[in-house]
Amino acid sequence: MPFQELDHTADVLIRVNAPDIPSLFTEAATAMFSLITSNRNDDGIVRRVSLEGESNEDLLYDFLAELLFIAEVDRLIFSAVTVEISENSLHAVARGEVFEPARHAGAMEIKGISYSGMNIREGKDGYQVDILFDV
């Protein structure tokens, strides 16, 4: 299980695990969209994201916020995300489909990504991060 939902009363708290940092970002992004809706397809719609940040945490926050922004203004749902990170730069490709009110009825709205507790930890099996979404 690349991510699990931890108990949080008001919002949604997830724990993401991955063997390396780029896949941690990939898992975090796909987890975010799986929280939004379970109906997700790759219909060949592609968006690219390039960012710079001082730390991996900064990059992760900006990356997730940017995907939320694109998904909302372009009315898209992403289902597959690939990420490359070198030094302080991130390049990602997100694939997905057009948001359809009927098919995606009951989707969850994520208002924002919190900084609270967002620390990327390295363990013997790779990397782990907890992310709290305001919903």
Partner 1 sequence: MIAGIRRVGPVEWEIPVGFIEGMRVPGTFYLSESLAATLEEGAVRQLANVATMPGIVGRALAMPDVHWGYGFPIGGVAAFGQENGVISPGGVGFDINCGVRLIATPLTVHDLGKMKELVNALFSTVPTGVGAQRTGRLSGTELEAILATGASWAVEAGFGIPGDIIRCEEGGCMEGALPEEVSQKARQRGMPQSGTLGSGNHFLEVQVVAEVIDEEAAAAFGVARDQICFMVHCGSRGLGHQVCTDYLKVLEAATKKYGIMLPDRQLACAPLTSKEAERYFGAMAAAANYAWANRQIITHMAREVFSKHFGIEYEEMPLVYDVAHNVAKFEEHHVEGRRMRLCVHRKGATRAFGPGSSDIPQTLASIGQPVIIPGSMGSSSFLLKGTANAMERTFGSTCHGAGRVSSRSKAKKNLDGSIIKEMLAKRGIVVKATSNAVIAEEAPEVYKPSSEVVAVVHQAGLSMEVARLEPLGVIKG
**In the Cβ-directed half-sphere of 132, how many Cα atoms lie within 13 Å?**
12
Q: How far apart are CA 124 and CA 135, in angstroms?
A: 32
Q: Is 31 in the site for partner 1 (CB under 8 A)?
A: no
With b for 16 or more beta-carbon neighbours within 10 A and e for fewer, the 84-94 pattern comes to: ebeeeebebeb
Structure tokens given for 92:
């990602």
Considering the complex, state which of residue 23 and residue 35 has its C-beta at the smaller distance from partner 1: 35
Q: Which of 80, 104, 126, 128 binds partner 1 (CB under 8 A)?
A: 104
CB-CB contact of 14 with 122 (8 Å): no
By CB under 8 A, name the one of 19, 43, 55, 108 that touches partner 1.
108
Q: Tell me which stretch binds partner 1 (CB under 8 A): 3-11, 22-30, 85-93, 121-129.
A: 3-11
Comparison of 36 and 129: residue with beta carbon closer to partner 1: 36
Taking residue 132's Cβ as centre, other Cβ atoms within 10 Å add up to 19
Binding pattern to partner 1, positions 36-75, x when CB under 8 A? x------------------------xx--x---x--xx-x
In angstroms, rounded to a whole number, what is the distance separating the alpha carbons of residues 131 and 15? 6
Q: Which is nearer to partner 1, 2 or 126 (CB)?
A: 2
Binding site for partner 1 (CB under 8 A): 5, 7-12, 36, 61-62, 65, 69, 72-73, 75, 99, 101, 104-109, 111-116, 118, 132, 134-135
